[in-house]
Amino acid sequence: MNGRGPRSLPCGLLGALALVVAAECYAARHENDLFLRLDAWSWTRIAQLAETPAPGSRIVCLGDSLVQVGVASRVIENRTGIRTYNLAISGGQAASSYFLLRRTLDAGAKPAALLVDFFARHLTESPVSGLDPWPALTNVGECLDLAWTARDPGFLARVVAAKLLPTVRMRASIRENVLAAVRGDDQTDRHHVPPFLRRNLALNRGGLLCPPKPDRGDDLDAWARRYFPGDWSCDRVNAAYLRRFLALATERRIPVYWLLPPIRPALEERCVVSGFDARYEAFVRGLQADYPIVSVIDARGARYDDRVFFDPHHLGRDGAGVYSAELARLLAGAASNSPGLRPWLELPAFRPDPIDEPLEDVDQSRLALKRDRARR
């Protein structure tokens, strides 16, 4: 024996662990009202919507923000007579569209058609290079699938940590709150998902309509270099999930309408000159040759008016209404026993037709809630 008594408890370590547990519990308890950001909240809501039991026919919209803000479910539903849901997510990847399609099929849905886009910029980068949107959107099995496909076990560890520890997935929001407190900003209403955005997402069944912002003054050359590079190529992991998505649709005999949404005409001209359009189109045509169930609806040359855009490649409310009406016209024709769509269809030039359906963008949702509060 060395004469020493029993070791004392590591009080410092226990205290630190207690603080960690307290911080994690506080973050979890206040996630919805203080720390949850719009994207994470909408990813969770879309995942829940995809899993909702859904017997019968429906049109399912998938992809990224170009579909989330550019396709108005109400317009398509009213003009086709088929229930329509928008499961596209901001930052959506080929893998997220595949997982969401699989979930909605497992829930019993029998889609009459899939409207989907795959934003070229998102296809260039590996989906496991960052955490978004995986902690909020996927389960552990899907994360394991991603890690296995990407041959990246570290990704699985990062996502599981973010799922188990709220402060990991809320790091950016916590940092914003702390900085706001240091600056002395008004903290009376710091909801990261304000009620008007929740209202808009609910009204549009997962979609999010933006107000038109025609006078943003964006640098289109820089925009083209960032989002539509001339040396574009697809990451191998994205290519794998894109093929899985198309194979699953083929297996279930679900028509796939691959959308090439409209962008501002001046930006489209830059995409042609840089060679981006040719490279991306060749990629799409190559996949279409392998999966004949795919029809491409190409709106790049439709020359939508600058006044109907929110930013250079996202439509605002009025643009989304016109675009959705054009899509509904095509889908209604395909569903009425008339000949189906040609493999590659170019949308007609922009026509500012009035939309009968009441469409509400996020600014209008904010005003509507203010009026409701004033009446109360």
Cβ pair 101, 114 in contact under 8 A: yes
pLDDT recorded at residue 318: 93
- Three-state SS for 109? coil
The whole-number pLDDT of residue 232 equals 95
Residue 122 CA to residue 143 CA, distance in Å, equals 18
Alpha-carbon span 303 to 321, nearest angstrom = 15
**DSSP 8-state code for residue 171:** H
Distance of alpha carbon 137 from alpha carbon 235, whole angstroms: 21
Tell me whether residue 326 is exposed, middle or buried, using C-beta atoms within 10 angstroms of its C-beta: 0 to 12, 13 to 18, 19 or more. buried
Distances in Å between the alpha carbon of 57 and those of 113, 136, 293, 335? Answer: 9, 27, 18, 12
Residue 53: predicted pLDDT? 75
Q: Are 72 and 359 in contact (CB under 8 A)?
A: yes
The residues with which 315 forms a beta bridge, in sequence order, are 309
Each residue of 62-97: pLDDT tens digit?
A: 999 999 999 999 999 999 999 899 999 988 999 999
Contacts of residue 109, Cβ cutoff 8 Å, sequence gap at least 6:
54, 55, 58, 60
**How is domain 17-375 classified at the CATH fold level?**
Rossmann fold (3.40.50)
pLDDT, tens digit only, all 376 positions of the chain: 455 555 665 777 666 666 656 655 655 555 655 555 667 778 888 888 888 876 667 899 999 999 999 999 999 999 999 989 999 998 899 999 999 999 999 988 889 999 999 999 999 999 988 877 888 888 889 999 999 999 999 998 888 887 777 666 666 666 666 666 666 665 544 556 778 888 998 888 888 999 988 777 889 999 999 999 999 999 999 999 999 999 999 999 999 999 999 999 999 999 999 999 999 999 999 999 999 999 999 999 999 999 999 999 999 999 999 999 999 998 887 665 444 567 899 999 998 877 888 899 999 999 998 888 888 7
110 has which bridge partners? 57
Q: For position 58, what pLDDT does the model report?
A: 87
308: nearest Cα among 229, 358, 365, 361: 361
Which amino acid is located at 84 in the chain?
Answer: T
Domain parsing of the chain, residue ranges: 17-375
Integer CA distances (angstroms), 237 to 124, 127, 244, in order: 10, 7, 11
Instruction: List pLDDT tens digits, range 17-38.
Output: 666 566 556 555 556 555 556 6
Q: At 333, phi and psi to the nearest 5? A: -65, -40
Closest by Cα among 211, 217, 210 to 312? 217
CA distance 27 to 174: 9
Distance of CA 365 to the CA centre of its chain: 20
Instruction: Report DSSP state, residue 212.
Output: P
List, as one string, the DSSP characters of 278-341: HHHHHHHHHHHHH-TTEEEEE-TTS---GGGEEETTEE-HHHHHHHHHHHHHHHHHHHTTS---
> Which pLDDT score, from 0 to 100, does residue 284 have?
97
Evaluated on CA atoms 215, 220, 222, 225, the torsion sign reads positive
**pTM: predicted TM-score of the whole model, two decimal places:** 0.86
Cα end-to-end span (Å), the chain:
78
Can you give the pLDDT at residue 310?
Answer: 95
